[in-house]
Amino acid sequence: MQKRAIYFFSLLLMILLSTGVLMAGEKEACLDCHEGDEFPVRFLEFNNTGFSTGEEASEDVKEIHLEKFDSSAHKKQLCTDCHTTATVDHDDEGKEIAKVKCQNCHKDQYKTYAGTVHGKAFLKRKDRFAPTCSSCHGNHYILAKSSPDSSTNLLHVPETCGRCHKEGTEMSETHTIHRSKIIEHYSMSIHRKALFERGLTVAPVCTTCHGSHDILEHENQKSKISKTNVAETCMQCHGLIEKTHEPMIRGQIWEKEAGKPPVCVECHKPHDLQQAIYDKTITDKNCLDCHSNPDLKTIRDGKTVSLFVDNNKHENSVHKDEPCVKCHFDTHADTDSLCKDPAALAEHLKTSGNEVNSVCKKLQPVNCASCHDQEVIAYQTGIHGKLAVKKDLDAPNCLTCHGKHDILSKKEPASATFALNIPNLCAKCHQDGEESAIRKTASQTHILQNYSMSIHGEGAKKSGLSVSANCASCHTPHKVLPATDPESTVNHANISETCSNCHIGISETLNKSIHSPGVTKTDKKLPVCNDCHSSHTITRHDAGKFRLDIAAQCGDCHKEAMTSYFETYHGKASKLGEENTAKCSDCHSSHNVLPATNAKSTLHPANIVGTCKNCHPGANIKFAGFLPHATHNDRVNYPILFYSYWAMTLLLIGTFSFFGLHTLLWLIRGLIDKKKTR
């Protein structure tokens, strides 16, 4: 601090001591001569490097407009704050004004600048193209970068840098810059689109990656764009990029050195950034020149494989707007000599019988993750992906379900992944007798048949309801896991949530019921949807077998209630196949099961008559006093029934004992008498 103060005061003293010092408030004194274009300018243009170019000064320098200056960032400064050597009569004295030294105030920036590629060019190499402060910031009318009109404002940075770095400028012609067509490429990039077309002010410009005062060449280890730092630079914005790139980094084709992921710019060209990375110069026509040949083939693992691509199918596919190279980015069109020479290729095909095996480079398998990364992550987490990693031949991959060049959107009815077609698609492996069913003796059999007869299957097949649940609705399309897996959507712990994707109302009711883990804290297993509704065989709840099975289903846990229910008319008629007599759910409700003490319970004294009235329109409060679970075997709780039963039973025993004996004796006597008469 002290040093600075000394420096400052000595500077001040120097200024004061100099002749004809312009004092504070004497801005006008300068403007007497310099304002407007009235005064003939006799000083030469110092080009932006500070060296005289021998040309007339630009308008900006020679004409000083006070209003414009007063709205600049330096409005509070006096002319002499920067032009320290200026005196009122400097012109008469023939004195040359010393160059402005921005570092007098902007010391840190200058320090940084001095070590950079620009700074070194200016200070050491005296490169006339080297930019100084004013090259980017301007002279008298410097604006803060937050001002939209500032040359250093986000929106103007590419333009400002482009003054030198644009293709065709003198600087770019005379200097070796590592990248070419920088501005042109940037103008095509997703970053520029984000900024100028979508108006995203967080989108990067030159300075975001290269820095402003601290620009270093990419070879410099300290550079923000050096190989070691570039990932960090990109991650200023792309914070979670590592996570989304997992399948690509792990997938071998992305890995140049074992265990070492490539840095961003190795795949994403630094200026010409696109969402996908492929060579746009190779057109589909280049590919189809060869691949539209229906006979084109190769030998792979001893098998003949057709290399024909039916472009008509591709034209109708969901990828119709995507070029071949977007998926087959490691195209051989630019490397294989035959691709470039149609005549030679035709000749080769003639002699080889359309076989290209040894001639063309084999392409890597398409990695769908380059666009569909979320889906692929899900797939890899699922059982299908896990099996695929183990090189299991039965394991399906993207193509198994989606197809190749003819991929259709799942919204297209003709697509294999269209909602109504999914059951048949999955059944290709999961139907009895097919791969999956053979290898895994799962708890579920006859999956397709059962599903087809289920309410979901009928909804889809008979009524053509595309919203009716299909395999993927419950098992998810990509992250398919066995029910035993705690992460599976069909795991006991998750199934209610899965069903609630469609049955949200029921889910809300169930979550408030006594069967919800949120309501009842117990070690016992609480029922979830498929405990009562089954899975693939799910049927309508209001008719048929489902109603007849309710009591047994509830009885899995509520054994006593089930036993006593079956002793009543409701239960006995139910046993005889009557669907309409009351089942558990008719009184207790199906999902809204609550203790009778709860005011919302169907059994609550306020609601019970209404519940009975569903079947017994004439029900009254005394009628509701019927004991639907009463048993005559329980003397403590139902003494009246207990004694009624035993009174009746004694009557029976008494009558039958007496008359049984009477009859037996009579029979014996009768037989004796009959024998006598004979």
Q: Of 586, 614, 596, 611, give the one whose Cα is nearest residue 514.
A: 596
Q: Sign of the CA dihedral 237, 242, 246, 251? A: positive
Residue number, 464 or 660, with CB nearest to another protein: 660
Check: CB of residue 356 under 8 Å from CB of residue 296.
yes
CB of 567 to another protein, least distance (A): 9
**Considering the rule CB under 8 A, would residue 655 count as an interface residue with another protein?**
yes
Tell me which residues in 263-292 interact with another protein (CB under 8 A).
Answer: none
Taking the least distance from each CB to another protein, the nearer of 202 and 621 is 621
Residues in the chain: 678
Residues 427-486 that bind another protein (CB under 8 A): none
> What single letter denotes the amino acid at residue 327?
C
648 is an interface residue for another protein by CB under 8 A:
yes
Q: How far is the CB of 599 from another protein (least distance, A)?
A: 21
Residue 582 CB, nearest approach to another protein (Å): 13
Smallest separation (angstroms) from another protein to the CB of 607: 16
Q: Is the CB of 4 or the CB of 676 nearer to another protein?
A: 676
| 3-state percent helix, strand, coil for the chain, nearest multiple of 5 | 45, 5, 50
Closer residue to another protein, CB minimum distance, 170 or 560: 560
- In angstroms, give the least distance from the CB of 523 to another protein: 34
Q: Is 274 helix (H, G, I), strand (E, B) or coil?
A: coil
CB of residue 597 vs another protein: minimum separation in angstroms?
19
Q: Which CB atom, from 23 or from 543, has the smaller least distance to another protein?
A: 543
Q: Which residues inside 657-676 make contact with another protein, applying CB under 8 A?
A: 659-660, 662-663, 665-674
Single-letter amino acid, residue 540: R
Between residues 155 and 630, which has the closer beta carbon with respect to another protein?
630
Residue 668 CB, nearest approach to another protein (Å): 7
Evaluate the CA torsion angle 585, 589, 594, 595 in order and state its sign: negative
Residue 87, SS3? strand
Question: Least separation, in Å, of the C-beta of 647 and another protein?
Answer: 9
Out of 34, 326, 588, 632, the residue judged to bind another protein by CB under 8 A? 632
Contacts with another protein: how many residues (CB under 8 A)? 48
Whole-number minimum distance, CB 453 to another protein, in Å? 23
Q: Does 552 participate in binding another protein (rule CB under 8 A)?
A: no
- When computed from its CA atoms, the radius of gyration of the chain, rounded to whole angstroms, is 44
Binding region for another protein (CB under 8 A) out of 220-228, 368-376, 450-458, 635-643: 635-643
Beta carbons of 580 and 544 less than 8 angstroms apart: no
User: Which single residue is written with the structure tokens 């604006």?
Assistant: 143
Least CB distance from residue 606 to another protein, whole Å? 17
Q: How far is the CB of 381 from another protein (least distance, A)?
A: 50
- Nearest Cα neighbor of 473 from 517, 450, 509, 503 is 503
Q: Which is nearer to another protein, 418 or 645 (CB)?
A: 645
396 SS3 class: coil
The closest alpha carbon to 145, from 98, 213, 193, 227, belongs to 213
| Pairing relationship of beta strands 297-300 and 303-306 according to DSSP bridges | antiparallel
Query: Which of 128, 199, 206 lies closest to 162 in space, CA to CA?
Result: 206
What letter does residue 363 receive in the DSSP assignment?
A: P
Q: Which is nearer to another protein, 353 or 617 (CB)?
A: 617
Chain centre distance of CA 229:
27
Per-residue mark of binding to another protein, 553-592 (x: CB under 8 A): ---------------xx--xx-xxxx-xx-----------
We find the least distance from the C-beta atom of residue 534 to another protein, in angstroms, to be 24
**Which DSSP string corresponds to 119-145?**
HHHHHTS--TT---HHHHH-STT---T
Tokens of 117: 């590629």
What whole-number distance in Å separates Cα of residue 600 and Cα of residue 594? Answer: 7
Write out the two tokens for 362: 């084999």
Distance CA 65, CA 47 (A): 20
Task: Please provide the DSSP assignment of 441-453 as one string.
Answer: --S--SHHHHHHH
Q: Of residues 12, 253, 399, 640, which one binds another protein by CB under 8 A? A: 640
Q: Which of residues 591-630 bind another protein (CB under 8 A)?
A: 616-620, 622-627, 630
Closest to another protein by CB, 51 or 566: 566
Pairing, β 52-56 against β 297-300: unpaired
Stretch that binds another protein, among 354-362, 388-396, 442-450, 654-662 (CB under 8 A): 654-662
Asked if 299 and 253 count as a contact pair (C-beta separation under 8 A), the reply is: no
Consecutive H or E run containing 375? helix 373-381
Interactions with another protein, residue window 515-534 (CB under 8 A): none
Q: At its nearest, how many Å lie between another protein and the CB of residue 575?
A: 4
Structure tokens at 87: 């005196």
Which residue from 98, 635, 656, 657 is in contact with another protein, where contact means CB under 8 A?
656
Which is closer to another protein, CB of 72 or CB of 581?
581
The residues that touch another protein, with contacts defined as CB under 8 A, are: 568-569, 572-573, 575-578, 580-581, 616-620, 622-627, 630, 632, 638, 640-641, 644-645, 648-649, 651-652, 655-656, 659-660, 662-663, 665-674
